[in-house]
Amino acid sequence: MTSSPPFQLDLRAWVKPGDSVVVSQGLGEPYGLTQQLVSQRHALGPINVFLGPGFGSAFDASCADTLRLQSWCATGSNAQLAAAGVLDMVPDHYIELGPLFESGAMRCDVALLSASGPDAQGRLFLGLNVDYTLAAARRARVVILEVNEDWPCVPGAELPADIQPSLVVRTRRPPTPIGGESAPAAEADQAIARYAAGLIDDGATLSLGVGSLPDRVLQALMNHRDLGIHSPILVDCVVDLIEAGVVTNARKGLDRGVTVAGLLMGGTRLLDFVRQRPPLRLAPPSYTHALSTLAAQPQFVALTGALEVDLTGQINAETAQGRYVGAVGGQLSLLRGARASKGGQAITLLPSTARGGTVSRIVPRLADAVVTTPRCDVDKVVTEFGVADLRGKGLTARVEAMVRIAHPDFRDALAQEGERIARLAR
């Protein structure tokens, strides 16, 4: 194992034409390495690159002249790649990505991973993420670590002994901010957050998504007690709840007293908090998304989003206006886990309209016939007009519940379409 600054690295010694390269995702993108990959792509020849959602990523549409870009998600920086038509989507469940690499169904010849450390014991850690890249690295011919000395060493993210880096490069940089200052909450978002927070009891364990709506829900939970966190991601707003004594993890069925997440998706506030060594552990998708894990958490609440929901409860979280903008992701795993939990709830959040109120997000049928989550797995849907509890309801009652939470401008038309759906159910 050798050490070299990223800007001096000639990747031709490590990456061959036709290779499949897997890159750490999110805020943990090894930016020094990915910059080198992009700048040297013509010398390297055609290669395949699997990346997760990035933020200020080194990849843009011009890379597609040599790089074949592929991902499980079209959010973050990937949105521009998808819009340009240069991102091939893998519509698999997030929890299945690791096993797909393990089996060889998805290739990894070269793994470019972010890392942090070393700690006082000399150990390296997997930076801000514990995810499918572990499985990919175990199948790789070459593993290159970009160690960021400014990132925390988080329990659970220790570099496994069976992953031996071919090369270690070192850098110092803060994570790229996800966005600018938070905009004031729209009235609709505030109403959605109030309704969702009203469904959550003291002692519940929460799973969070990225975006303004989950953040607003967290902000509306300041008067709750003994909440827990078991989530794919950890965001800045969680720090407020922990410091206020709202999140204690005291009633969790597993990992009592400990916050568990897969990825750190916050800024300086979150990373500074993590450096204080709070009771926090990172874990891979095989644990964060596993049905057995989620079912063992009493009152497990999955907060997820949707692009649109049809009148019977089917969710589209992938496409809008004919473009891929979302992901299959972990939604179905989390919703099924919540339904298997004693007292659990699967709560889907979405504003009732899009495009300035001109389009309803409650629809008779989903766009492009994309069903991310089938209606049999959907629990509660929340808009700014209320909560549609679909559990145990027939199609007629489901339609009525969904029409009630649609925007008033669209309710009459939706009700007419709903009559046709209800007739088919009789």
Same domain, yes or no: 192 and 69: no
Query: What is the Cα–Cα distance from 167 to 13, expressed in whole angstroms?
Result: 11
Same domain, yes or no: 332 and 211: yes
Residue 146's nearest CA partner among 259, 270, 274, 14 is 14
Given pLDDT bands bounded at 50, 70 and 90, which one contains residue 201? very high
Query: Length of the chain, please?
Result: 426
Instruction: Round the average pLDDT of the chain to a whole number and report it.
Output: 93
3-state secondary structure of 7: helix
Amino acid identity at 13: A
CA angle 300, 301, 307 (to 5 degrees): 145
Query: What is the Cα–Cα distance from 343 to 83, expressed in whole angstroms?
Result: 40
Q: Is the pLDDT of residue 392 over 90?
A: yes
Same domain, yes or no: 242 and 336: yes
pLDDT digits (tens, 9 = 90+) for 211-239: 889 999 999 999 999 999 999 999 999 99
Number of domains in the chain: 2
Which of these three, 171, 197, 223, is where a domain ends?
A: 171
Same domain, yes or no: 310 and 395: yes
Between the two ends of the chain, the Cα-to-Cα distance in Å is 68
Same domain, yes or no: 61 and 141: yes
Residue 382's nearest CA partner among 205, 182, 214, 204 is 214
Same domain, yes or no: 41 and 120: yes
Which CATH number do you get for residue 104?
A: 3.40.1080.10
Same domain, yes or no: 280 and 363: yes
pLDDT at position 179 is 57
Query: What is the Cα–Cα distance from 422 to 90, expressed in whole angstroms?
Result: 35
Given pLDDT bands bounded at 50, 70 and 90, which one contains residue 209? confident
pLDDT digits (tens, 9 = 90+) for 77-115: 999 999 999 999 999 999 999 999 999 999 999 999 999
Cα separations in angstroms, 35 against 68, 267, 406: 16, 22, 45
Q: Is the pLDDT of residue 366 over 80?
A: yes
**Domain span holding position 235:** 187-425
Q: Are 10 and 100 within 8 A, CB to CB?
A: no
pLDDT digits (tens, 9 = 90+) for 136-191: 999 999 999 999 988 999 999 999 999 999 999 999 887 776 754 555 668 999 99
In a domain, 180, yes or no: no
Which of these three, 136, 171, 206, is where a domain ends?
A: 171
Tokens of 358: 């001109």
Same domain, yes or no: 104 and 143: yes
pLDDT > 70 in the chain, percent = 96
Residue 374's nearest CA partner among 309, 420, 322 is 309
Same domain, yes or no: 104 and 228: no
pLDDT at position 184 is 64
Report pTM.
0.94
48-70 mean pLDDT:
95
pLDDT at position 5 is 56
Query: What is the Cα–Cα distance from 249 to 228, expressed in whole angstroms?
Result: 4
3-state secondary structure of 115: strand
Q: How many CB atoms lie within 10 A of CB 56?
A: 13
